[in-house]
Structure 1
Amino acid sequence: MSRYIMDTKSLHTLEYDKIIQRLLAHTQTSLSHDLVEELKPQQDLGRILHLLEETDEAVHIDRIKSVPPFGGIRNIQASLTRARIGGVLSASELLEIATTIGGGRRLKRFIINLDDAAEKFPIITGYAEQIEDLRGLEEEIMRCIGENGEVADAASPELASIRSSIRTLEARVREKLDQMVKNPSIQKKLQDPIVTIRGDRFVIPVKQEYRAHFGGIVHDQSASGATLFIEPEVVVQLNNELRTLRFKEEREVEKILQRLSAGVAEHTESLTANTQAIARLDFIFAKALLAREMKATLPKMNEEGYIRFRKGRHPLIDPQQVVPIDVELGREYTTIIITGPNTGGEDGHAEDDRIA
C-alpha cells in the first residue's frame, strides 16, 4: 500500500475532513475554498513554521482589532478568463468586479493602517501590499453600472438620449391608450379598463366579440379566448418607433459592455493577483477564527521526534464533556496505549477516557 493511500486512510480515521469543514465555515469569501480544501498535514519544518506564523499574526490582529472586512469581494475568476479571451461581460459580472476591487482596497487599508503593521505582521502585510489599487477601473464600472446591475443612463451620452426618447414616446402611447380605456363607449368593449404590455408592445384587453371595432394587431389572447390583447391601429406606428429605439438602446448597451470588458481585460493580470492575495488573507484569517473557536495555542515545533501535549483536548468533542489530558512521546516514553470503556475489563465511564 502506498504512502498516499495510507495517509488518506489515516486522515479519514482521524476525521480530518470535519476540521476542514469547520475551517471552511470561517472563510469570508469563496476565493479561499480551494486553499482550505487542499490543506494537508505538512512534513517540512520551515513550511510548518511559516504557516503557524501567519496564523499567529492573524490571531493577534483579531485579538487587538478584529478580523478585517471582506465585504463586496466575489469570486470573479471565470469573468476574468472570459474577458481575457475577448468575451463581453454582463453588467452584473462587471459590477462584481468593481465591488471586488473596492473590497480589496478596503481590506488592504485595514491591514496597512494597523499600528506597526509591517513590523508586527510582516507576512499578512506582505499579502496586503500585493493588492493593487485599481480605483480607476472600479469607478468607471460604477459610473456605468447601477446598483441593480443594469447599465445606467450616464454610461454614455447616446444611451441617455435614446432612453429619454423612449420615455417620451412611451408616455405618448400610454396617453393615447389611456384616453381610449377611459372613454365610456369603449370601456364596455374591454374586459378591463387597463393598458398592458405583450411582447414589448402596448395593448388593451378587448372582448373577443369587439375585435373588428379596434383594428390593429392581436398579440395574445386569454386561455378561454374570450379576451384579445390588441394593439389598436392608432398606436401601431408609435409602437414601431419604440421598437426601433429599443433596438438602438440594446446596441448602445452592448457597446458599453464591450468597452468596459476591454478595460477589465487590460487589468486581468493585476485582478488575478489581487484575488490570489485576498484568497490567501481570507484563508489565514479563517484559521485564526477557528483557533479562537477551539481556544487553540501556538505550538512549539521540533525535528527531534518529541511530542508533548499539556491539557490537550480533542477538537471534535463537546468542550463541556471533553477531559483534558497530558501526553508525552519521544524521550522517556516511546509507546502509548489508548484504552476506552471496558477495555481490558475495567469498568470506567466513557467521559473519563476521552483523550486528545
Structure 2
Amino acid sequence: MSLLPPIPAPVTELSQSALGWDLLAEFLSSYAQSGVGRAWLSAAAPSSNPEWIERQHTLVDEARVLHAAGVRPAIGSLFDPAEALAKARLEGAVLEPEEIRQVVDLAEQTTAWAAFLRDPGDDLAERLPALREAAAGMVGYDLHPLVEAVRAKLLPDGSLADDASPELKRLRREMERQQRAIADSLRGALRRFAEGGTTQEDLITIRGERFVIPVKAEWKRRVPGVVHGASSSGQTVYVEPLETIELNNELVRLLEEEQAEIHRIYAAMTRQIGQYAPPILAGARVLAELDTVMARARFAEEYNAIRPVLEHAEAAQPGLSLKAARHPLL
C-alpha cells in the first residue's frame, strides 16, 4: 500500500503525449527528496476534483512561504516503513540492524517536522494552516522517547555501541582481554618456531573465528596443534597451537554470549518500534505528502509559476484564459 493516497477523479480523456504531461511529471519528480515522493510525482495525473485541486494549490502556496523563509524540512530518510512496522509488531520478531536504523531516522525526521509545526515562529505561525492540518494526525504524538532510547545505543552503521547494555560492555571488555592473551601466547609460539624455520612468516591471523599461525606445510607436524586449513598454494597451513586452544575456546564462548546479548538488545528495540508503529506510519505519510508539496514549491519558485484562478462549473462564463503562459519544458 502506498504512503500517498491516489489522486481523486483523474482525468482520463487527456492527450498526455500531446501536452507532454508524462515528461513534465518525470521532470517534476526530480525535485523530490525521497524515492516515495519521486514515484508519486512521476505517476501523477490531472484531477477534475475541485476541492482536491484547491487544497493542493494551498499546500504549495504555504510550501513556497517556507521556501522563501529558508525552511528546508529534512525528508531524506523517508521510505515506506509499513513492512518493517508490521514485522516489528509480530511476537518474537527481530528487525535487522539496517531496518532499525532506517525506522529511527524516519522517526527522528518526523519528530523534527512535528516540532517545527508546533512552534514555527511568529512570522510563520498564521501562514501554514493547511500544512498544519495535513500533519494533524502526527503532531500529537511524541516519538522522542523512542528516538532517544534507540539512538543512544546505535552507531551510525546500525551496529551496537559497546555501552548499549552493561552486559554487552562487560562481554566486549572480556573479549578484548582474551584476544590480548591469545595474541601474547601466539607471539611466544611464533618466536619459538621461527628459530627453526618452521613458521612461514611472523603473522597471527584468524581462521573460522580461531586465532592461528602460518606454518610451512612440510613442517606442520613440528607444531603440536589443530590445523584450520591451508593457503591456496598449499605451501602454508594455519595451525592453532595446543597451548592456545583453551584460550580460543573461551573467546568463542564469549563471542556466542555477545551474539546472544546483541540479539536480545535488537529484540527489545524491535518491541519498542512496534509499540510506536501507528504514529511512525502516520508520520511517514505526512512526510511523503510534504515531500511532493515541497518539490512542487521548488519547481514553482524556479519557474516563477503563479496559482491559477479556478472558476466553478456553474460560473456565468466558464472558459479557459491563459495569459503569457508557457510550457515549462519548451
The answer, yes or no, to whether TM exceeds 0.5 is yes
Shift of the 47–187 alpha-carbon distance from structure 1 to 2, 3 Å rule, reads farther
TM-score, with structure 2 as normaliser = 0.88
> In structure 1, which of residues 300, 309, 312 is the aligned counterpart of residue 322 of structure 2?
309
Count of residue pairs the alignment pairs up: 314
Q: Deviations over 1:10-53 (max 9, x none)?
A: 22332212222122211122333453244221112222111111
Alignment map for 1:252-263 (pairs within 5 Å): 252-263=261-272
Which residue matches 1:97?
103
Shift of the 28–235 alpha-carbon distance from structure 1 to 2, 3 Å rule, reads same
Which residue matches 1:119?
126
Q: Deviations over 1:47-89 (max 9, x none)?
A: 2111111111111221122432335444433311211234211
Q: Deviations over 1:77-136 (max 9, x none)?
A: 331121123421122221222222221222233444243545211011223442432111
Shift of the 120–210 alpha-carbon distance from structure 1 to 2, 3 Å rule, reads same
Please state whether the residue corresponding to 1:309 is helix, strand or coil. Answer: coil
Residue 270 (str. 1) matches residue 279 (str. 2): yes
Shift of the 88–5 alpha-carbon distance from structure 1 to 2, 3 Å rule, reads closer
Please state whether the residue corresponding to 2:86 is helix, strand or coil. Answer: helix
Aligned equivalents of 2:210, 2:323: Cα separation in 1: 77
Alignment map for 1:161-176 (pairs within 5 Å): 161-176=170-185
Report if the CA contact (8 A) 2:10-2:45 is conserved.
no
1:179 maps to amino acid: G
TM-score, with structure 1 as normaliser = 0.82
Aligned equivalents of 2:304, 2:196: Cα separation in 1: 74
Report if the CA contact (8 A) 1:29-1:75 is conserved.
no
Stretch of structure 1 that moved more, 204-213 or 44-53: 44-53
Please state whether the residue corresponding to 1:217 is helix, strand or coil. Answer: strand
Report if the CA contact (8 A) 1:195-1:202 is conserved.
yes
Stretch of structure 1 that moved more, 167-176 or 137-146: 137-146
How large is the RMSD of aligned CA atoms in angstroms? 2.3
> In structure 1, which of residues 4, 19, 26 is the aligned counterpart of residue 31 of structure 2?
26
Stretch of structure 1 that moved more, 84-93 or 159-168: 84-93
* Unaligned runs of at least 5 residues, structure 1: 318-356
1:91 maps to amino acid: P
Say which one has the larger Rg: 1
Report if the CA contact (8 A) 1:144-1:154 is conserved.
yes
Aligned equivalents of 1:237, 1:291: Cα separation in 2: 70
1:24 maps to amino acid: S
Report if the CA contact (8 A) 1:22-1:290 is conserved.
no
Aligned equivalents of 1:248, 1:223: Cα separation in 2: 33
2:133 maps to amino acid: G
* Unaligned runs of at least 5 residues, structure 2: 1-8
